[in-house]
A and B are shown apart, each in its own frame.
Chain A
Amino acid sequence: MRPFAWYALGAIAALCISCGADHQDLPTGFAYDPPPTPTNLVVTGGEELSTIAWSYPASDRGSIRAFRVYEYFASYDMIQLIGTTTDTVFVDSLLIGNLGYCYKVSAIDTSDFEGWRTESVCAFVRSAR
């Protein structure tokens, strides 16, 4: 009889020890400091191309590595990276005419961390013929 009771006691003691918390190391504070978001995004539709231009504070240019330009598909709420540039102008060419194209732009810092993307801006692209 007694070994069974000790077994029961051991089981409860094992439960005690196994009930230690495993979630103690919650990171405190938000660790990221993103680069500022580009402003004044303007998209100009041309003949089978779009010209995308934006502004960025000169004081922050030193802390960023490049800009990322995305095409935004509003119907699906999806984005696709179409290019990276260090300039504040980007030309998206070889487009199909008579369609609207939307874009978003973001800045990436020297550690390749990407800041907030701009709101999408759209333009109508004309056909060459």
Chain B
Amino acid sequence: MRRIVPFLLVIALSVLASTEARGGENVWYSAMVPGWGQVRAGHYGRGGLFMSGELVALTTLVIADIQYDRAVEQYDRAKASYLNAAYIGDAVYEYALMHERWNSAEDLNGLRQTALYAAIGIWAVSVVDMIIFDSKAEPPLSISARRDGFIVTGSLSF
């Protein structure tokens, strides 16, 4: 898991280098919210895809994380009951329950790691996509953040 952190730093540094070299502000929007930069650049389909993908991945991550914590709590409880059992029937029951909860925690841990990798992957692809394909052309519709809200700008090209 910690191998991801250097990877993220590399992406961040490339974002820094890219924006300093090219001045592409959209890259920063994509770094904040995957797909936002694409939307500002007028690539609505791609932007929407990144945004919805990131949303699904993060929602899955949060739900899996909550369920994982619950499964670990139940596992710890079953383990404590198993280790303190004074009757063989209770020990057998708690042993089976402990294994069941552990398997459940293992599955949920796998799910949340997958969701985390997916979220990071989508974020990184969105940023890299913006670094490589950020066009200077005026988008037909753009959304910008202001201190007091958002501004939506539309333009027509002939």
A interface residues, Cβ below 8 angstroms from B: 1-2, 4-6, 8-9, 12-13, 15-17, 19-23, 26-27, 30-32, 34, 106, 112-117
Give chain B residues whose Cβ lies under 8 Å from the Cβ of A106: 87
Q: Are A16 and B31 touching (Cβ within 8 A)?
A: no
CA distance A9 to B118 in the complex (A): 15
B72-86 CB contacts (< 8 Å) to partner A: 72, 75, 79, 82-83, 85-86
A-B contact number at CB 8 A: 85
B15 touches A5 (CB 8 A): yes
Determine the distance from Cα of A51 to Cα of B88 in the docked complex, in whole angstroms: 26
Indicate whether B32 reaches chain A with its CB closer than 8 angstroms: yes
Question: Given the interface contacts A27-B82, A32-B85, A113-B86, does A12 sit within 8 Å of B95 by beta carbon?
Answer: no
Given A26-B99, A117-B89, 9 other A-B contacts at CB below 8 A?
A: A8-B31, A9-B12, A16-B120, A22-B72, A23-B71, A26-B98, A31-B83, A34-B88, A113-B85
Give the Cβ gap from B146 to chain A, nearest Cβ, in Å.
12
Is chain A's interface secondary structure helix, strand, loop, or mixed overall?
loop
Known: A5-B15, A23-B75, A30-B95. A116 touches B88 (CB 8 A): yes
Give chain B interface residues in 44-74, CB to chain A under 8 Å: 61, 65, 69, 71-72
Residues of chain A within 8 A of B72, CB atoms compared: 22-23
Q: Which of A9, A19, A112, A116 contacts B8 (CB 8 A)?
A: A9
Quick check: A9 and B4 within 8 Å, CB to CB?
A: no
B83 touches A9 (CB 8 A): no
- Bound together, the chains give a CA A32 to CA B155 distance in angstroms of 76
